């Protein structure tokens, strides 16, 4: 038996000495076969009831396209696990080069001779946690437009901003604005009636009564163009971009675990789980 293979197998899987020896003996020191056997039969957790709501979100840009995706696992520790972080990087580099537009088809993208679904399954065994590709979104821009991104706390929150012109510095600052000030809408004029009624309903539920003036202030804090500019609070974001002769085309935000505990905790035009929100008009 090859001692180096035995040590490598134990390091990669975390399985015991006896299990690794048996796997290598079973497959005559064929490492990949022994590894797959360990992952399928030894390290795999059955009956795990923990919700896979941890992990990380990722945003990747290449030329005029960007992707945002979220990979979930069961504990916060996976963000420090090289198997998990390497998997996320690999998924991102292959998905940006693909033409898929949703998580279901993303799982079928090939990496060498395996699919992304196979890679996630294999990594689940290595980290001894259930891992899933929860959501995936692709964004395309015109050649004259510009992207900006921001990643917060190892992927707990990622944002993407599209400007009408290519100015990476300002675009990245605006992406940071979206993250730090928790912007949910671009402009109040773009909020549809059902969404506004939902915001009024939630406001009254939280405050016990409805005050129009305070509600307007509440919505201003959630609307990107009406927020104070983080670099100069004497200006609103709208005043800042007007000064720079820039327009914000759109922005996107993926927050880790968004919508798992509360399906309404999602930006409505990018549903977390494919569900539609219907609100009865009461105002």
Walk across the sheet containing 248-255 and list its strands.
146-152, 157-163, 248-255
CA–CA gap between residue 105 and residue 94 (Å, rounded): 13
CA–CA gap between residue 16 and residue 181 (Å, rounded): 48
Give me the phi and psi of 145, to 5 degrees please.
-85, 170
The residue with greater pLDDT, 51 or 173, is 173
190-207 tens-digit pLDDT: 999 999 999 999 999 999
Is the pTM above the cut of 0.75? yes
pLDDT > 80? residue 106: yes
The residue with greater pLDDT, 278 or 118, is 118
| Ramachandran quadrant class, 153 (left: phi over 0; alpha: psi -120 to 50; beta: rest) | left
Predicted pLDDT of residue 268: 39
DSSP code for 258: T
pLDDT > 60? residue 276: no
Give me the phi and psi of 59, to 5 degrees please.
-125, 130
Predicted pLDDT of residue 269: 41
Predicted pLDDT of residue 50: 62
């Amino acid at each position: 038996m090859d001692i180096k293979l035995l040590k490598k197998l134990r390091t990669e899987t975390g399985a015991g000495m006896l299990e690794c020896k048996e796997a290598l003996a079973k497959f005559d020191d064929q490492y990949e076969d022994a590894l797959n056997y360990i992952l399928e039969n030894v390290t795999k957790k059955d009956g795990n009831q923990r919700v896979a709501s941890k992990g990380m979100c990722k945003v990747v840009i290449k030329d005029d396209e960007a992707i945002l995706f979220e990979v979930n696992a069961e504990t916060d520790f996976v963000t420090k696990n090289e198997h998990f972080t390497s998997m996320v990087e690999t998924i991102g580099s292959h998905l940006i080069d693909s033409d898929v537009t949703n998580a279901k088809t993303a799982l079928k993208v090939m990496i060498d001779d395996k699919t992304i679904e196979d890679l996630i399954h294999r990594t689940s065994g290595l980290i001894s946690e259930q891992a899933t590709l929860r959501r995936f979104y692709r964004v395309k821009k015109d050649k004259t437009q510009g992207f900006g991104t921001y990643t917060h706390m190892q992927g707990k929150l990622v944002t993407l901003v599209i400007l009408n012109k290519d100015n990476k510095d300002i675009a990245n600052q605006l992406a940071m604005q979206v993250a730090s000030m928790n912007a949910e809408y671009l402009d109040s004029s773009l909020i549809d009636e059902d969404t506004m009624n939902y915001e009024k309903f939630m406001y009254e539920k939280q405050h016990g009564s409805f005050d129009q003036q305070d509600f307007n202030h509440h919505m201003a804090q959630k609307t990107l163009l009406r927020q104070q500019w983080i670099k100069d609070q004497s200006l609103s974001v709208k005043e800042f971009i007007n000064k720079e002769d820039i327009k914000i085309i759109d922005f996107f935000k993926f927050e880790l675990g968004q919508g798992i505990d509360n399906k309404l905790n999602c930006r409505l035009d990018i549903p977390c789980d494919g569900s539609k929100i219907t609100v009865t008009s009461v105002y």
